[in-house]
Amino acid sequence: MTWYQKGISDERGGHTTEVLSVSQVSSLVEALLDDTRLQDIWVRGEVTNLKLHGSGHCYFSLGEKSRDHSAVLSCVMWRNDARRVECEFRDGMDVVVYGSIGHYAPQGRYQLYVREVRPAGRGEKHLMVEKWKVQLTSEGCFDPQKKRPLPAYPLKVGVVTSETGAVLQDIRNVVSRRYPLELVVSPTAVQGEGAHLEIARALQRVERDVDVIILARGGGSFEDLFPFNYPEVVRAIVSCPVPVVSAIGHEVDITLADFAADVRAPTPSAAAELVVPDRIALMDSLALFRKTLGNRLIVRLDRAGTDLSEVRERLSPRRVSQRVTAKREDVSVLSGRMERAVLSRIALERERLSAAAGVLAARNPAQLLRRGYCILQKDGRVIHSADEIACGDRLTLRLVDGRAVTRVEEVHHDS
């Protein structure tokens, strides 16, 4: 039957009303619950109906009672998340939980899928961390595009941690074993009041003297690691001119400093392994390169030997004699052509030279002087017109075989 797909008449108005299937309603509810305001949220309440399933999953409710109203929220925590709960989890406990609202279609109900549980006494700090996270995200402090690669072969490694803990010794042991180099330690308090300001100053104190920095501390509670969530620490990491590797707490502990660091390591020892290469592996690589280069050199020498044999064959007396004979014939032909071309060019140039000599002879002023003409000069300049001289001027007459000096007594201008 498919009548429900087409709709039924509404007795109140006579209009046709669509009838939804159960799965359609379930999908609609899921879409409504997919609101961002219901995702990745912190919720505070009292634990009730706690059930620890044999599979490791955890089922419970969060209750809230007041004079005006009461409410209950169903919760589920999957096995992998339940393993990480550090506090004693029991009915009647006031907690702050982190998770997202989802729809459980088989039973037609919504529930909170919990990923983290903290005692309510620490809830305010968790909310503070979430507020800082939003603020620092807007500043671009966690932008993946800003992450910097670690230097392949650092010369100096900075270590920002407590100088009294085992963390520093672990890092020293790994570095001395893998790739001995200079460690520059910038000691700081890693927990307690004002520790975040010391951590930020310790980073700034060493950032100009090293190629990479390890920011580390051992495991601890949420309260112990809280200084690494402060914006001052995050901004000091982001503004650091060299890459920063974070190794704070255990692998499951995540602070805002981890989000800001260029690389996050699960432990301080792992951080040391990340920042320095393994000298044994490097020596193995060098040995492989040496072998590869040797093989390539042998191949090139063999090829050069083959080329040399071919050259020797081409330069053998018999082959050279044949080529020389052929080249002599070519040279003889070219020599005859060149000789004829040169003689032809010489004859042509002689004709051009003779014509030019005739033109020069005709234009030579000395020829005019030989026929009785003279050149009149005033102050070294040739006189072309009567307008250029006046009575009393001292002039020079240039003749074919000498010069004479005269003075002008009269000047007559022809019409």
Sheet holding 244-248, edge to edge: 182-187, 156-161, 212-217, 244-248, 263-264
Q: What is the pLDDT of residue 236?
A: 96
Q: What is the pLDDT of residue 1?
A: 34
Strands 70-77 vs 41-52: parallel, antiparallel or unpaired: unpaired
Task: Give me the phi and psi of 105, to 5 degrees please.
Answer: -60, -40
Alpha carbon distance 302, 128 (integer Å): 72
What single letter denotes the amino acid at residue 71? A
Query: What's the helix, strand, coil split of the chain in %, to 5?
Result: 45, 25, 30
Listed residue (172, 168, 218) closest to 191, CA to CA: 218
Q: Which domains does the chain show, CATH number per domain? A: 34-121 (2.40.50.140), 139-277 (3.40.50.261), 367-407 (no CATH)
Please answer whether residues 148 and 243 qualify as being in contact, where contact means their C-beta atoms are separated by less than 8 angstroms.
yes
Chain-wide mean pLDDT for the chain? 85
Q: What is the pLDDT of residue 96?
A: 86
Q: What is the pLDDT of residue 182?
A: 92
In the chain the first and final C-alpha atoms are separated, in Å, by: 135
Q: What is the pLDDT of residue 13?
A: 52
For 48, the 3-state DSSP assignment is strand
Model confidence, pTM: 0.48
For 63, the 3-state DSSP assignment is strand
Using one digit for the tens of pLDDT, what is the confidence trace for 89-129? 788 888 888 999 888 888 878 889 999 888 776 556 777 88
CA dihedral angle for residue 166, residue 170, residue 176, residue 182, rounded to 10 degrees: -60
Alpha carbon distance 78, 68 (integer Å): 33
Using one digit for the tens of pLDDT, what is the confidence trace for 191-219? 888 999 999 999 999 999 999 999 999 88
Q: What is the pLDDT of residue 75?
A: 93
For 71, the 3-state DSSP assignment is strand
- Segment-wise mean pLDDT, segments of 10 residues, the chain, 415 residues: 44 60 74 81 88 90 74 91 81 87 84 87 73 93 94 94 91 92 94 92 95 92 89 96 93 90 94 92 86 88 85 73 75 83 87 83 70 81 85 85 86 79
For residues 116-136, one letter each, b for 16 or more C-beta atoms within 10 angstroms of the residue's C-beta and e for the rest, the string is bbbeeebbeebeebeebbeeb
Q: What is the pLDDT of residue 189?
A: 93
Alpha carbon distance 385, 379 (integer Å): 15
For 168, the 3-state DSSP assignment is helix
Listed residue (39, 131, 52) closest to 85, CA to CA: 52
